[in-house]
Amino acid sequence: MISTGTRSKIEAEMERYPQKRGALLPALYLVQAEHGYVSSDTVRELAEIMGLHPVEVMEVVTFYNLFFDRPQPRHHASVCTNLPCSLRGARVLLAQLEEHVGSKVGEPTDDGRLVLGHEECLGACAFAPMMRVDDAYHEDLDLEHAKSILDALE
Amino acid sequence: MRITIDGREIEAREGATIFDAAGAAGIDIPVLCHDPRLDPVGVCRLCVVDVGERVLAAACVRRCEPGMEVRTNTSDIEADRAVLTELLMSEQPADHEADRRERAFGDNALLACARRYDAWGDSLPRGGGRADDTSSSVIHVDHQACILCDRCIRACDELQNNEVIGRTGKGHDSRIAFDLDVPMGQSTCVSCGECAAVCPTGALVDVAIGPELRPRDELEAVDSVCPYCGVGCALTYHVDRERNAIVFAEGRESPGNRQRLCVKGRYGWDYAAHPQRLRVPLIRRDDAYPKGALSKDVRGEHDGRRKPGGIVDYDEVLPAFREATWDEALDLVAERLSTIRDRDGPDALAGFGSAKCSNEEAYLFQKLVRACFGTNNVDHCTRLCHASSVAALLEGIGSGAVTTTYGDIANAGAALLAGTNTTANHPVAATFFKEARKRGTKLIVVDPRREAIAEHADHYCRIKPGTDVAFYNAMMQVIIEEELGDRAFIEERTENYDALATLVADYPPERAGAICGVEPDDIRAVARAFGSADSAIVFWGMGISQHVYGTNNARCLIALALLTGNIGKAGAGLHPLRGQNNVQGASDAGLIPMVYPDYQSVEDPAIREKFESAWGRELSPQRGLTVVEIAHAALEGSVKGMYIMGENPFLSDPNVNKVRKALSNLDFLVVQDIFLTETAEFADVILPASSYMEKLGTYTNTDRRVQIGRPVLEMPGEARLDWEVVCDVSTRMGFPMDYASPSEIFDEFAGLTNAYATLSHDNLGAVGKLWPNPDPERDDGPVVLFDDAFPTENGRAKFVPAEWTAARELPDDDYPFVLNTGRLLEHWHTGVMTRRTRVLDAIAPEAFVAMHPDDGSANGLSDGDNVTVESRRGSVTLRLRLTTRECRGAVFMPIHFREAAANLLTLDELDPDGKIPEFKFCAVRVSAAG
């Protein structure tokens, strides 16, 4: 169930667009912030609120990397592996982090704490290598620094 | 404007795309993602052309500009297309020989390109790994063959307006998906097949129903009309004449359905080839008397356990009959019916025609009963359907047909859908309703059940069952009080307004809301939406008509339209949605006990004289008995002999236990049908008839469109054409009938009417004509009727006010639920046809009773339980479905299932004007089955 608070935030977002459907991305961020992911039930509920067909919401959820259609580990840590980062060792770093946390890219750790990923360009080439942990950028990384960031996650 | 394509100067209309202009000039441009009925998206890039710019332009989206010079087939363009084809082919399933689309329809557009460019994808690494989805019993999904052209998505959204298909994922992982990416068979897909029809590859293909396809040019394409509902969709059957089989059906362009079909029309035709078809005349064996039901289901024996269900087991019934020659059977029929006529008088005979038969057959059948039998005891299932609507319409506006077509909703500011489960019963009309809603028509749905169309409504009012009159009176009270009515229309074109205004003044929304269970302000909102629309159409169905106060219900809807001036202009009118493919035509042709063809009264001496001189016989001056009255008369013994052509009253009439006694009580019954129906178990003689697929005739749809149905199959065994059988019976009974063809019968019928007078088989054309039609050679016919006068004596329409009265059998402590009955999308009336089609039976194999979840838990019942539903007249055991579609306090049962016949429970009380039975309201109790 989408909470009343989130629902009213979604409705406020809808006011800001000439067409209600324009608010779909902000609305999805809101419901994901509340639930951690966007379930089928949430898709149906959101479609109802926004006057869309459920299939239209599903299309957007499955298109974007930052929307999840199933329960997620508590944290997402994604290393940028685009060309400048790779030249500065991002791929090696990612492999070492896999070893450190004991799980491959895309496979959540057993304790459900974390999943590693890789991203295409995050626009921080000048600070390569870098990774995004949840909503924060961590730049000019070396292995020890990266490990300590991951180790600090609850 | 002038443009040049491949050096040819061409005139293109304003706004046309290059693809359209080229197509009109006969210039072929290859395309995969485009279909002229859909909004172009320009994603496949195969239709690229050179317009003299830096890059090639997609012809399907690029509009023509004056003076444009287009080249469609330079070597550069062809090379470009070859590369695209090579890329697409590298992702296709490797075995092109096994392509499903080629095998089912013979029209894989991608493989056609592969052949054209000799591009088979072999130069590239072959893709793979995308799965099949075989969950639908109708359509096979092969994701590997999908090229993501979006045609299916647009067909589902823009044509059928179902919005089931979308895309999931992105990039290389993109796939089409159903609902929230569930297997197709578990999605909300209604199996209309539009996606498979538009798919250009083997990705979405019908699961085969008919025989394996032979090369498409060896098939014959026969233009015909769908045999199911009153929408009367134009379609083409692709026929394998050598094997006497239909291979597949395809929607056809017509002003009505515009190529769209539903699951019944597209996939429900194989019943005609079912092995249970009757092939020889049958005569009841001497040891099978005294007569009675033969199969266990029809005998009504059950042990309280839910039965597996299904069609009749012939082994239970056939031993009571022996095969006979046509001569022997027809002689017996003629002799027995003549004996009863001569001994007990003409009114001891009665006939039921059918709304599934053609106009020609209906006309001949009523002529047989009237002129040869000598009685007006002739009726058909219109009595169970819109008889009350027709009674109210004839009384109010002087004509029983629709005043505008269903497609006219496109011009309507508002549309009221009253008591109609349109998506199930008129599925293709419903697609136009949803489309109109998207374009701004306000949709108002009023129904005790939250029908699927309610999901698309601007206003949905869930009224309590049986409170329609109070609701619509309150709407009119608001419209009058707030002066939303059309004063000029009322004054110039109607009469009896004051009586209406006085009566509805007693129905303020507060009072009516308490009766209907609707908030008074919701009634006001609906009244304002309807009353303030520039134009509004009222559509209604069996929820209005099938009540003992059905005529009153319809009177209110007519008054609502008159009050707001909504008849006789575009986007406005009255449209009772006709159920059967030819219920309009069969009524027009006189299969009604009170009237000759074209609603001419049998009691009017001048009219009777006209028919007496046309038919050369003295005719009965008394109106005949209606369907349920005939059953009652049979029970009492005053009707002794019956001829039933294509109807199945045992299941279709209310109170089956009474019907069983009535049918058993007949001295003589002849049933002419294509299968051994439940009714045929009571017959003395059974005559094997022709199915829709085997005969030529005209059918009149809900819009008044008269269309030609054409034969596509040979009849099985010794089965014969129905009209020939009627002629033979008549001739043997001393009233010779001799016609060369259905067209000749049509001419005789048309000549006795005003509505059909100008029409003939020759001028109906490819898509039929609307009646009345002053100039059928040139004109399609009038969509909107009565723009200046009504066909009444003074040219005015009449308000007929109606008081709300409570239903006849209200729920009480013993029988606490209201039983509502109706149809399912996949099935038809008594299931005789649809349960013998592979697809429809696979999708909906089983009877059920539906109940609101709150009522379920209050009674300790769970979804899927076996329950017994009992009324004061009978009981059935079947599976329970819990759904919020139903309102609290009411349950719903479909009428199609012989093993759980809803009509065992229903009430055989009649509406006093329309003589229609109460199918939609009786009291029942529901308990767990032992």
Q: Which of B462, B464, B430 is nearest to B446 (CA)?
A: B462
**Residue in A closest to B457 by C-alpha:** A51
Tell me: pLDDT of B213 over 80: no
Contact B166 A56 (CB under 8 A): yes
Tell me: pLDDT of B211 over 90: no
B727, B753, B768 — which closes off a domain?
B768
Same structural domain for residues B631 and B742? yes
Same structural domain for residues B742 and B837? no
Q: What percent of chain B has pLDDT over 70?
A: 99
Give CA–CA dist B116/B79, Å, rounded: 12
B768, B785, B809 — which closes off a domain?
B768
Give CA–CA dist B898/A81, Å, rounded: 66
**pLDDT for the residue B308:** 66
Alpha carbon B829 to its chain centroid, in Å, reads 10
When scoring A52, A55, A61, A67 by the number of chain B Cβ atoms within 10 A, the one with the most, hence best to mutate, is A55
Same structural domain for residues B127 and B221? yes
When scoring B154, B173, B181 by the number of chain A Cβ atoms within 10 A, the one with the most, hence best to mutate, is B181
Tell me: pLDDT of B309 over 80: no
Give CA–CA dist B901/B907, Å, rounded: 13
The pLDDT tens digits of the residues spanning B768-827 come to: 999 999 999 999 999 999 999 999 999 999 999 999 999 999 999 999 999 999 999 999
Write down the H helix ranges in B439-531.
468-481, 487-493, 497-504, 509-516, 520-531
State mean pLDDT over B18-38: 94
| B249-286 CB burial, b ≥16 within 10 A, e <16 | bbbbebbbbbbbbbbbbbbbbbbbbbeebbebbbbbee
The pLDDT tens digits of the residues spanning B382-428 come to: 999 999 999 999 999 999 999 999 999 999 999 999 999 999 999 99
Of B165, B169, B170, the CB nearest to A55: B165
When scoring B180, B186, B188, B443 by the number of chain A Cβ atoms within 10 A, the one with the most, hence best to mutate, is B180
Residue numbers in A near B163 (CB within 8 A): 53, 55-56
Residue type, A51: G
Distance from CA of B174 to the nearest CA of A (A): 8
What's the order of all strands across the beta sheet hosting B641-645? B321-323, B282-284, B685-688, B668-673, B641-645, B349-352, B378-379
Are the beta carbons of B628 and B654 closer than 8 angstroms? yes
3-class DSSP state of B536:
strand
Give CA–CA dist B225/B269, Å, rounded: 11
Chain B positions touching chain A (beta carbons under 8 Å): 163-170, 177-181
The pLDDT tens digits of the residues spanning A69-78 come to: 999 999 999 9
Structural domain count of chain B = 5
DSSP string, B225-291: E-SSBTT--EEEEEEETTTTEEEEEEE---TTTTT---HHHHHTTGGGG-TT---S-EEE-GGG-S-
Same structural domain for residues B884 and B910? yes
Residue B47: CATH number of its domain:
3.10.20.740
**What part of A 41-70 touches B (C-beta under 8 Å)?**
43-44, 53-56, 58-59, 62-63
Residue numbers in B near A63 (CB within 8 A): 167, 169-170
Q: How far is CA B254 from CA B259, B348, B679, B769, in A?
A: 7, 45, 37, 11
Domain that residue B241 falls in: 99-273
Give CA–CA dist B388/B382, Å, rounded: 9
State mean pLDDT over A120-134: 93
B273, B297, B329 — which closes off a domain?
B273
A135 touching chain B per CB within 8 A: no
CATH of domain A75-151: 3.40.30.10
Same structural domain for residues B628 and B699? yes
State mean pLDDT over B590-609: 96
State mean pLDDT over B695-702: 98
Q: Is residue B415 situated within a structural domain? A: yes
Residue numbers in B near A51 (CB within 8 A): none
Are the beta carbons of B706 and B698 closer than 8 angstroms? yes
**pLDDT for the residue B171:** 84
State mean pLDDT over B257-275: 96
Q: Which of B854, B887, B847, B886 is nearest to B869 (CA)?
A: B847
B405 — alpha (psi -120 to 50), left (phi > 0) or beta?
A: beta
**pLDDT for the residue B116:** 95
The pLDDT tens digits of the residues spanning B312-364 come to: 999 999 999 999 999 999 999 999 999 999 999 999 999 999 999 999 999 99
Same structural domain for residues B531 and B411? yes
Same structural domain for residues B844 and B724? no
Number of alpha carbons in the 13 Å side-chain half-sphere of residue A148 = 5
Are the beta carbons of B437 and A51 closer than 8 angstroms? no
Residue B908: CATH number of its domain:
2.40.40.20
Give CA–CA dist B212/B232, Å, rounded: 28
Give CA–CA dist B138/B330, Å, rounded: 42
> Would strands B139-142 and B165-168 be described as parallel, antiparallel, or unpaired?
unpaired
**Residue in B closest to A58 by C-alpha:** B180
State mean pLDDT over B727-755: 97
> Would strands B378-379 and B349-352 be described as parallel, antiparallel, or unpaired?
parallel
Same structural domain for residues B435 and B557? yes
The pLDDT tens digits of the residues spanning B860-906 come to: 999 999 999 999 999 999 999 999 999 999 999 999 999 999 999 99
Q: Which CATH class is domain A4-63?
A: mainly alpha
Q: Is residue B793 situated within a structural domain? A: no
**Domain A4-63 shares a fold with domain A75-151:** no
DSSP string, B88-102: HHHTS-S-GGG-HHH
pLDDT band at B300 (very low <50, low <70, confident <90, very high): confident
Tell me: pLDDT of B463 over 90: yes
Q: Is residue B764 situated within a structural domain? A: yes
The token duo for B133 is 């989805």
**pLDDT for the residue B305:** 65
Tell me: pLDDT of A65 over 90: no
| B863-886 CB burial, b ≥16 within 10 A, e <16 | eebebbbbbebbbbbbbbbbeebb
Are the beta carbons of B232 and B256 closer than 8 angstroms? yes
Number of alpha carbons in the 13 Å side-chain half-sphere of residue B506 = 10
ipTM, interface predicted TM-score of the complex? 0.80
**pLDDT for the residue B124:** 92
pLDDT, averaged across chain A: 94
**pLDDT for the residue B303:** 63
Contact A54 B168 (CB under 8 A): no
Contact A40 B180 (CB under 8 A): yes
Residue B751: CATH number of its domain:
3.40.50.740
pLDDT, averaged across chain B: 95
Domain ranges of chain A: 4-63, 75-151
The pLDDT tens digits of the residues spanning B542-554 come to: 999 999 999 999 9
Q: What percent of chain A has pLDDT over 70?
A: 100
**Residue in B closest to A55 by C-alpha:** B179
**pLDDT for the residue B304:** 61
Q: Is residue B660 situated within a structural domain? A: yes
pLDDT band at B216 (very low <50, low <70, confident <90, very high): confident
Same structural domain for residues B895 and B827? yes
State mean pLDDT over B202-208: 94
Q: Is residue B113 situated within a structural domain? A: yes
Same structural domain for residues B717 and B824? no
Same structural domain for residues B179 and B254? yes
The token duo for B209 is 């129903």
Same structural domain for residues B679 and B735? yes
